[in-house]
């Protein structure tokens, strides 16, 4: 559940690692570059994460409850914000957040749904009809 306090900008100065109070040491070796990047990005203050870092963490289901506020603000400014993959990749990552999260965070789900509705033509033009319809289907069926 997203805590109201975490939506406040002062919490964006902290990293996911700090917010989770995770004081474990990082392994000296990482099995993959993806795992290594996730470890690195968890140490960056939330306000300093770029779109690609946000996309990657969200897609790996890391710190969603801490990132959702800043991610939704990013999407409100630009619904098709682009990480390293393609225009709209952040939106698609958010659309694939598990339904359990959305069920516990109805306010954030409403914001996300409004972003998609308000920008439907832009999203459809950039992502294509098929991807847009899949996104709408996830939204309408509560993911």
Sort 4 into a burial class: Cβ within 10 Å, 0-12 / 13-18 / 19+: exposed
* pLDDT for residue 5: 43
- Average pLDDT in the 106-129 region? 94
> CA distances (Å), 69 to each of 4, 6, 26, 125, in order?
10, 8, 27, 26
> CA distances (Å), 87 to each of 23, 92, 116, in order?
35, 10, 14
* pLDDT for residue 81: 95
Q: What is the pTM of this model?
A: 0.87
pLDDT digits (tens, 9 = 90+) for 34-77: 888 888 999 999 999 999 999 999 999 999 999 999 999 999 99
53: its two tokens: 């870092």
* pLDDT for residue 9: 67
CA-based nearest residue to 120, from 142, 88, 74: 88
């Amino acid at each position: 559940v997203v805590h109201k306090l975490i939506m406040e900008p002062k919490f964006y100065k902290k990293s996911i690692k700090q917010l989770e109070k995770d004081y474990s040491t990082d392994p000296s070796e990482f099995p993959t570059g993806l795992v290594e990047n996730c470890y690195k990005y968890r140490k960056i203050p939330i306000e300093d994460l770029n779109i690609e870092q946000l996309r990657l963490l969200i897609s790996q289901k890391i710190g969603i409850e801490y990132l959702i506020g800043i991610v939704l603000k990013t999407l409100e400014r630009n619904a098709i914000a682009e990480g390293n993959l393609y225009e709209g990749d952040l939106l698609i990552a958010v659309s694939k957040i598990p339904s359990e999260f959305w069920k516990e965070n109805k306010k954030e789900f409403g914001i996300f749904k409004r972003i998609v509705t308000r920008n439907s033509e832009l999203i459809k033009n950039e992502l294509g009809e098929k991807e847009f319809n899949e996104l709408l289907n996830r939204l309408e069926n509560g993911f």
